[in-house]
């Protein structure tokens, strides 16, 4: 007869905080939309920003759009887990979205720039940090130009910023390549990372 104290109910995965980051124009929004289409049990934190919405963006769905003055007032009220001033525009993650989802046992996915990812590494050392890369520099430059939202000065600034951001890649746990016409492959890779993290013997403990 097996011992009475033998147990097989050891699989009890903890909620993950998954940070998806990368340089501007690498396709972070597209990858997150791909993840949403999978209907996985994930909570996607909606980022707040002080920049105006682009024509295809919806307030409360793609971003929370606040004026710069409103954003600064919310900073004073400690409403953000983290925030950053990037290209003269604020971006931040509402604190309550993260805490409530983790407490409910849901995995949380946040899209941030590299500066924001560094902040989360300090706030949540056990977070899973994923860095998105294009397949080539030409692919990346083509995406920035296709957005048709960059002045020549903005474009050059993003190039220089990307050079600095790539120097921080050792801070991340995983690299995922988001190549042109292979978006679903990038999404598959992130889903596989999440699955692997949930099968670690020593879970990442966030709470």
Backbone φ/ψ region at 104: left (φ over 0), alpha (ψ -120 to 50), beta: alpha
CA dihedral 90, 53, 147, 161 (to 10 degrees): 0
Residue 68 CA, chain-centre distance (Å), reads 22
Active site residue 74: no
Active site residue 54: yes
Give 109's strand partners.
18, 44
Copy the structure tokens of residue 156: 């050059």
Beta-sheet pairing, 17-22 with 107-111? parallel
Cα separation, 142 vs 151, whole angstroms:
14
Please, are residues 170 and 52 in contact by the beta-carbon 8 Å criterion? no
Active site residue 158: yes
- Catalytic-labelled residue, pool 36, 37, 38, 147: 147
Cα separation, 26 vs 193, whole angstroms:
19
Which residue is it, tokens 């407490």?
Answer: 103
Copy the structure tokens of residue 92: 């931040």
Please, are residues 55 and 202 in contact by the beta-carbon 8 Å criterion? no
- Catalytic-labelled residue, pool 54, 74, 143, 204: 54
- Catalytic-labelled residue, pool 143, 158, 200, 204: 158
Catalytic residue positions? 54, 147, 158
């Amino acid at each position: 007869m097996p011992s009475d104290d033998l147990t097989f109910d050891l699989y009890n995965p903890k909620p993950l905080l998954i940070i998806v980051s990368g340089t501007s124009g690498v396709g972070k929004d597209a990858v997150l939309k791909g993840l949403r289409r999978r209907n996985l049990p994930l909570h996607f934190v909606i980022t707040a920003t002080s920049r105006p919405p682009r024509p295809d963006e919806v307030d409360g769905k793609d971003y929370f759009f606040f004026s710069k003055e409103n954003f600064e007032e919310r900073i004073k009220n400690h409403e953000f887990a983290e925030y950053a001033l990037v290209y003269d525009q604020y971006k931040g993650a509402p604190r309550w979205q993260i805490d409530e989802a983790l407490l409910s046992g849901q995995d949380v996915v946040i899209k941030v720039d590299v500066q924001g990812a560094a902040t989360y590494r300090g706030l949540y050392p056990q977070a899973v940090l994923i860095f998105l890369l294009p397949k080539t520099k030409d692919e990346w430059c083509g995406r920035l130009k296709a957005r048709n939202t960059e002045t020549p000065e903005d474009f050059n600034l993003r190039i220089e910023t990307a050079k600095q951001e790539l120097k921080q890649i050792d801070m991340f746990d995983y690299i995922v390549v988001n190549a042109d016409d292979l978006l679903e492959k990038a999404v598959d890779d992130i889903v596989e990372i999440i699955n692997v993290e949930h099968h670690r013997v020593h879970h990442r403990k966030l709470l």
